[in-house]
Chains A and B, each alone.
Chain A
Amino acid sequence: EAGVAQSPRYKIIEKRQSVAFWCNPISGHATLYWYQQILGQGPKLLIQFQNNGVVDDSQLPKDRFSAERLKGVDSTLKIQPAKLEDSAVYLCASSLGFQASSYEQYFGPGTRLTVT
């Protein structure tokens, strides 16, 4: 079974530039998550999709971050414009569904973003 795929793996941009990350979840997984992991901290949920609908985006800085999951499969996360404090690893995860049995999330390798 293929895991969660993410690209690019690394990205360096200057502040005020824009950047986009892509995620392909495990086949059949209805729920997709984007996390931000700042160095020395645990992953923090940015947005959660159930199929192609947003379940939770309460911690997404909507003035600069946006995400979509067209057709309920792949997803993209965009930052525009980037700030220095956005430097982090962006992790995508997926799970079978939204029920208790789906607490176990499967993570991709992440995209390490450096904003200079």
Chain B
Amino acid sequence: DQQVKQNSPSLSVQEGRISILNCDYTNSMFDYFLWYKKYPAEGPTFLISISSIKDKNEDGRFTVFLNKSAKHLSLHIVPSQPGDSAVYFCAAYGGATNKLIFGTGTLLAVQP
């Protein structure tokens, strides 16, 4: 049972444009959400997070939006840069699991 879903395996965006990565979850008990970025041959690195008591968190070019009623969150990158090309994982925490549950990832390619 995939509790965290990233339905787009890949996304291609032009440099300077907005990248929007989506994530859906099924467990209403999740109360904290994170985005990780992963380059090839490296481990995931923490990017940005949001608590369920908020609906938006911003950090420079990165903004995460949370829609609890829809059990949906999204990561916006504006403007996108070639160095943003990586796999982005959505992760959720909370409920009975008490551990991070990761999505399957979205490969973002930012074209120069």
Contact = CB atoms under 8 A, between A and B. Distances in A.
Contacts, number: 47
A56 B103 contact: no
B100 interface: yes
Given A103-B34, A104-B34, A43 B45 contact: no
A74 B103 CA distance: 28
A37 to B, nearest CB: 8
Nearest to B36: A107
B99 A42 contact: no
Interface residues of B, number: 21
B1 interface: no
B43 A93 contact: yes
A110 B103 CA distance: 18
Contact of A103 (B4, B100, B103, B104): B100
A45 B42 CA distance: 18
Interface in B47-76: 49
Interface in A35-92: 40-45, 48, 56, 91
A83 B41 CA distance: 23
B25 interface: no
Interface string A96-113: 000010011111111000
Contacts of A100: 32
B49 A91 contact: no
A35 B33 CA distance: 18
Contacts of A44: 102
A97 B49 CA distance: 17
Interface of A: 4, 40-45, 48, 56, 91, 93, 100, 103-110
In the A-B complex, the 9 residue pairs with the smallest Cβ-Cβ separation, listed nearest first, are A42-B102, A107-B43, A104-B46, A107-B44, A45-B99, A43-B102, A108-B43, A109-B43, A42-B104
Given A43-B89, A110-B42, 6 more contacts: A42-B91, A100-B32, A104-B34, A107-B43, A109-B43, A110-B43
Interface of B: 4, 32, 34, 36, 41-46, 49, 89, 91, 93, 98-100, 102-105
